[in-house]
């Protein structure tokens, strides 16, 4: 690596991001009044529910006490290292105690500060704490008018900045400020630079996402896993089914196999996965999410080395049997479609020194030109979620396949 000198600002960012770059896996939690309706967190907008009707949900929401403890325990068991919870979604209802509105959990039917409960729960499990906060607000009277009316803009921006200040002042150390939708203003109108300067003053170690219309510390690809360019930190946020808020009629859930595959993809690209759960209004985790997350956690218990610390970049090509993560000269091939007793990987440009099942037996192999064949594997996949094969190579690992084929006649393993 060449010597790169960082500006003090870049150095500070690198310091603040250090834990995040190694965290890999976090739990996103969408919970709010909409959870009672159970038709997506955009239900107020999608079904054009009048504000006066929607507000009634603040009289009937009675979450069970300390629901967040269960989420945090589950997150920990799943191998997650941090959590991000909606403190206020687009509906405008605040899960925290705010001096600036009475449309908030402690002053309505929940009668408690749900953000305080969440923060305590996450900390009790040693997880980092993130606050999701929607800048767009469908409940605030100035939330739309602010675009055309300067007095409304002034009031609304003061309200948003004020609440962000409350969140950064009242709950101790916060690790992530996770803004969302900034409709209808632009960065200048939001005074985003000023807001984020305040956040940093109150929380010197915090990292801030890119949704206040400023790039800040990390990118947030949503519902797709695409690395940011130039080594910038990033985190893909993904739903478990297709909704963020509790939506029992949306039953298309991801399974543990898919989650493990997403984890491998984020690790290979040096990013994180923020996987969402939408608890019921009471605060229960949908059973299928729990079941699949526990499987993922069990898998990470024995295969974590190939995910958490294995995020060195590597050129690779697609294979139907799996894909690589890498740490230095160690490759981890995550085989998630098991081919049987032999596994062939084409295109590897490096001499292989050894191969073994991660935490398991050494494997025989042949390598003729760029065809690597691993031999003597079990007939059935040792781990159906992904069996990791650890391969030591010489030089900087690279896999290049392209579209052409070469005939290899001198492969000693070639069947007669
Ligand atoms: C989108 C949606 C929102 C969700 C968010 C999560 O911005 O509007 O409902 O909370 O994505 O990233």
- pLDDT, tens digit, for every residue of 99-141? 999 999 999 999 999 999 999 999 999 999 999 999 999 999 9
For the segment 173-230, what is each residue's pLDDT rounded down to a tens digit? Answer: 999 999 999 999 999 999 999 999 999 999 999 999 999 999 999 999 999 999 999 9
Q: Is 246 in the pocket of ligand 1 (CB under 6 A)?
A: no
Here the CATH number for the domain that contains residue 334 is: 2.60.40.1180
108 and 52 assigned to the same domain: yes
302 and 317 assigned to the same domain: no
Rounded CA-CA distance 88/20 in Å is 23
Give the ligand 1 atom nearest the CA of 89.
10
Give the ligand 1 atom nearest the CA of 180.
7
266 and 350 assigned to the same domain: no
322 and 226 assigned to the same domain: no
Give the ligand 1 atom nearest the CA of 28.
6
Q: Give yes or no for a cis peptide into 383 (omega within 30° of 0).
A: no
Give the ligand 1 atom nearest the CA of 134.
10
Residue nearest to atom 4 of ligand 1 (CA): 244
Q: Which of 272, 306, 340 is where one domain is finished?
A: 306
Q: Is 41 in the pocket of ligand 1 (CB under 6 A)?
A: yes
Q: Which of 280, 306, 332 is where one domain is finished?
A: 306
Both structure tokens of 303: 């295969």
Give the ligand 1 atom nearest the CA of 237.
12
pTM tops 0.85, yes or no: yes
Q: Is 210 in the pocket of ligand 1 (CB under 6 A)?
A: no
91 and 205 assigned to the same domain: yes
Here the CATH number for the domain that contains residue 128 is: 3.20.20.80
Q: Which of 275, 306, 337 is where one domain is finished?
A: 306
Whole domain around residue 407: which residue ranges?
312-416
Q: Is 244 in the pocket of ligand 1 (CB under 6 A)?
A: yes
- Ligand 1 centre from 16 Cα, in Å? 25
- Ligand 1 centre from 146 Cα, in Å? 21
Which are the contacts of 394, defined by CB distance < 8 A and separation ≥ 6? 329, 350, 351, 353
Q: What is the DSSP letter of 39?
A: S
For the segment 239-274, what is each residue's pLDDT rounded down to a tens digit? Answer: 999 999 999 999 999 999 999 999 999 999 999 999
Rounded CA-CA distance 213/197 in Å is 14
Structurally, the chain folds into a number of domains equal to 2
Q: Which H/E stretch holds residue 201?
A: helix 192-202
275 and 387 assigned to the same domain: no
193 and 53 assigned to the same domain: yes
């Amino acid at each position: 690596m060449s010597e790169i000198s960082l500006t003090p600002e870049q150095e500070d960012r690198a310091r603040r991001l250090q834990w995040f770059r190694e965290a890999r896996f976090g739990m996103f939690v969408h919970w709010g009044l909409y959870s009672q309706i159970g038709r997506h967190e955009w239900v107020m907008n999608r079904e054009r529910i009048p504000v006066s009707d929607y507000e009634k949900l603040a009289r009937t929401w009675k979450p069970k006490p300390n629901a967040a403890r269960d989420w945090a325990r589950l997150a920990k068991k799943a191998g997650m290292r941090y959590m991000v919870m909606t403190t206020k979604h687009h509906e405008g209802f605040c899960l925290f105690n705010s001096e600036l509105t009475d449309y908030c959990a402690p002053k309505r039917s929940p009668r408690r500060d749900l953000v305080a409960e969440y923060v305590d729960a996450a900390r009790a499990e040693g997880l980092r704490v993130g606050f999701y906060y929607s800048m767009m607000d469908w409940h605030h009277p100035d939330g739309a008018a602010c675009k055309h009316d300067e007095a409304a803009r002034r009031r609304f921006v003061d309200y948003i900045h004020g609440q962000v200040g409350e969140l950064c002042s009242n709950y101790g150390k916060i690790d992530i400020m996770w803004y969302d939708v900034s409709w209808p203003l632009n960065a200048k109108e939001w005074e985003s630079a000023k807001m984020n300067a305040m956040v940093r003053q109150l929380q010197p170690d915090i990292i801030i996402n890119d949704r206040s219309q400023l790039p800040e510390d990390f990118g947030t690809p949503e519902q797709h896993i695409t690395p940011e360019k130039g080594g910038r930190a990033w985190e893909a946020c993904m739903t478990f089914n297709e909704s963020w808020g509790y939506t029992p009629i949306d039953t298309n859930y991801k399974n543990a196999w898919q989650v493990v595959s997403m984890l491998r993809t984020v690790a290979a690209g040096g990013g994180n996965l923020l996987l969402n759960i939408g608890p019921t209004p009471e605060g229960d985790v949908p059973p299928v999410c729990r079941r699949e997350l526990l499987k993922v956690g069990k898998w990470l218990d024995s295969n974590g080395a190939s995910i958490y610390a294995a995020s060195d970049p590597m050129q690779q090509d697609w294979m139907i049997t799996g894909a690589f993560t890498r740490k230095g000269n160690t490759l981890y091939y995550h085989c998630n479609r098991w081919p049987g007793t032999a596994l062939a990987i084409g295109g590897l440009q490096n001499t292989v020194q050894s191969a073994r099942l991660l935490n398991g037996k050494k494997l025989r192999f042949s390598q003729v030109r760029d065809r690597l064949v691993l031999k003597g594997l079990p007939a059935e996949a040792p781990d159906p979620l992904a069996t990791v094969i650890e391969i030591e190579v010489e030089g900087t690992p690279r896999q290049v396949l392209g579209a052409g084929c070469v005939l290899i006649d001198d492969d000693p393993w070639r069947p007669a």
